[in-house]
Each structure stands twice: as structure tokens, then as C-alpha cells.
Structure 1
């Protein structure tokens, strides 16, 4: 499966020519307007920076190689009282499982972690204020034990919401040698790369690519 970071919390997932866009944004400082084509689009919640479906033109329907599992969660640590609900989604195709946490605002319960299940690639918000912060994101990673971690929803001037933090605080929580900065915005994860691992690899896509 090919994973492409399109900025903020927006990703393109591709398997066998089938394209899924997750959390398309609008109105996020620095990032250009989205003009995408995909067979499917998913939004973790209804806020403007995660639900701009007008930026995605749907391609003709065809059979999807993806299965999608949804896990209910919240946008804050007060069971949604501050910012509402959030949907975690696990996209599975070709024996690869990619989990997009959306705007998760709290640590996962044991039940939620079990519902997510095996996680090859974890797309996790790290910027705080509207989501878990660096320490909270690391705790979620420790609970889910993915093979690959990709941080999202952070400020890297001039890109990103002004009230969220950068990615460096999150990266500083990982052992030396764990973090790899990619030369571009995409990577491909193959099922044969699986197997037991004790320490995830943290991939930081480059934007703009």
C-alpha cells in the first residue's frame, strides 16, 4: 500500500490503483487548496480542516480492495463535551493495516486499543491544543505498537494551524536512530515487511514534496 501525506491530517492511500483520501482540509494556513481525485473519501469528523469533500472529485465506482473498520472516539479529553466525536479508521488492503486517528483528543482505552487491533502504519496527530500532544501521541503509539509511525496535524511554518505545536517535541521522545526523514511525501509499505518488531520506525514525510 502506498501512503502519501498531503498536508495537515490529509492522506492518500493507494492499493492496486484504487485511491482513498482521508480527512481533506480547507482553510489551513500555508497549504494550497486541494484538487484531488479518488474513489473514496473519509472524514474523521466534521470540522473544516478534516471534511472538505468538495476538494475531492470522485472517480467512477469500482470494487474496492480496502476494508474499513471504524472505532468511535472523541476530539477531546472530556468525552466530546468540548469538540465532539472523532472516528478512528483502520484501512486494510493486501494484508496491510493503516490506522488514521483523526483528531484524537485523549488516550485510548484498552477496549479501543483492542478494537483497532494490529496496526502496521499509524497516522497520529502530535501537535496538541486540538488533539493529543507529543506525550499523549507517544502513549497512543506505545499502546498500539505499530510498525511505522507517521506524525500529522502539527505546525511547520508557514504550514499548519498557528495554535498547534511542531513535530520536534514528538520526535524527541523516540530513541536515537528511530526517526527517518523521507525525501518525499510518499512511501510504500509491503506486507512482507511484517513480522515482530520491538521498536517502531517513525517516518516524517517531506512537505512540500
Structure 2
């Protein structure tokens, strides 16, 4: 399995030569100011219908698009969508959000989208063993550093990759990723532009990885 960060909440995940894209955005999005690469994929997941997360037109190849909770199987990849909220008031402020659990190559990747609250124990149990957690940490619209750290403690993944945090070109205000690094208290995190994973080489304890956008 390979994971690359495309910026904001978008990732390219390669599972058995099948490409999956999470929360794509359009290169001409005025609030982001960053470019989305030209890319072709088989699957796209959309956590919620806000413009900086639902830019499916940016992905070519006539992908299978998943926008709602449920169970899906595409090209041998199992995807489970779980209903959550974009805020701490059951969606009354910013609506609903879908968490996706992506299963492939005997590993589980969990993309939290724009999650705005800590998880109920029942959902944590449903997620089960998570190998890689993609988690928003920038606050304002999602979990902040403190709440994100609490969610990490709930899920206990092998690898944590933060997303949805400050970028100098963004027009909306998010907190820097350093706030989350400090709150996690794990020392100097690993930094990389591509993560290559196999089940037998996953860390025994939770590892924090900061990914640079490709």
C-alpha cells in the first residue's frame, strides 16, 4: 500500500494497483489557492458536500464515487462509511460528515473527513483495528489539536497522519499542525512525501507521520 498527501484532506491511496482518492478539491478553488494534480483513479470518497472536499471533477477515469454511509466493494477494496457530524452539535452548525474505513492488503485506513467531535464508544468498536488514521487537526471547522489527540487515544492506530490544518495560501483560518504535534507529545515526527506500508512492518506503538503534499 502507498499513501500520498495531495493537500487539505485529499490523499491518494494505492491498494493492489487500484487508486483511491479522498476528498478531492478543484485547483481553482478560491479559498484554497493550491493546485490539485491531474490524476486518474478508480474510487473517490467524499466525506461531506462542502466545496473544498467534493471536487470530484478533478479526478478523471470515471471513478466510482462514494458520498454516503454504507458498505461498498470496488475492485476488491472494501469501504465502510459511518455517519458522524461536522460539529459538536449533531450537525446543527455544519451538517453531517462521513468517516470511511478502507480495507485492502490486510490493512485498514480510516479517513475521518471533517469530523467535529470525539467518537462514541460504539463507533470506535465498529471501526475495530485501524492501521492508518487520517485525522483533521486544524480546529475552527473540525477537531482541534486537543480533541484530535483524544480521538487518536480512542482509536489507537498504528500510524497517525494529520490533515486539514493551516496552509499559508488558505483564505480560512486553521491552526498549524505543530499544535497537534505538541499535544501528541511524541517528539520529532517522521516527515515524508510518500508512505509505503505492509502489514508485517507496521509499528507496534502509535507513530506520527507528517506528510508533505505531492
TM-score (norm 1): 0.90
Pair 1:149 & 2:160 matched: yes
| Contact 1:178/1:200 (<8 A) preserved | no
CA distance in 1, matches of 2:63, 2:11: 20
Aligned residues: 202
Distance 1:82 1:92, change over 3 A: same
Stretches of structure 2 lacking an aligned partner (at least 5 in a row): 65-73
Deviation at 1:29, TM superposition (A): 2.2
CA distance in 2, matches of 1:92, 1:176: 27
CA distance in 1, matches of 2:80, 2:109: 10
| Contact 1:98/1:121 (<8 A) preserved | yes
Q: What secondary structure sits across from 2:97 in the alignment? A: strand
Query: 1:1-209 maps to which residues of 2 (within 5 A)?
Result: 1-26=1-26, 27=29, 28-58=31-61, 64-158=75-169, 160-177=170-187, 179-182=189-192, 184=193, 186-194=194-202, 197=204, 199-207=205-213, 209=214
CA distance in 1, matches of 2:150, 2:90: 18
Deviation at 1:59, TM superposition (A): 5.4
Deviation at 1:106, TM superposition (A): 0.4
Deviation at 1:114, TM superposition (A): 1.0
| Contact 1:25/1:34 (<8 A) preserved | no
* More off after superposition, 19-28 vs 115-124: 19-28
Deviation at 1:34, TM superposition (A): 4.3
Stretches of structure 1 lacking an aligned partner (at least 5 in a row): none
Distance 1:33 1:108, change over 3 A: same
Q: Which segments of structure 1 move beyond 6 Å, counting only runs of 4 or more?
A: none
Q: What secondary structure sits across from 1:112 in the alignment? A: helix
TM-score (norm 2): 0.88
Deviation at 1:201, TM superposition (A): 0.7
CA distance in 2, matches of 1:187, 1:34: 18
Distance 1:103 1:138, change over 3 A: same
Deviation at 1:161, TM superposition (A): 4.8
Distance 1:178 1:146, change over 3 A: farther
| Contact 2:186/2:208 (<8 A) preserved | no
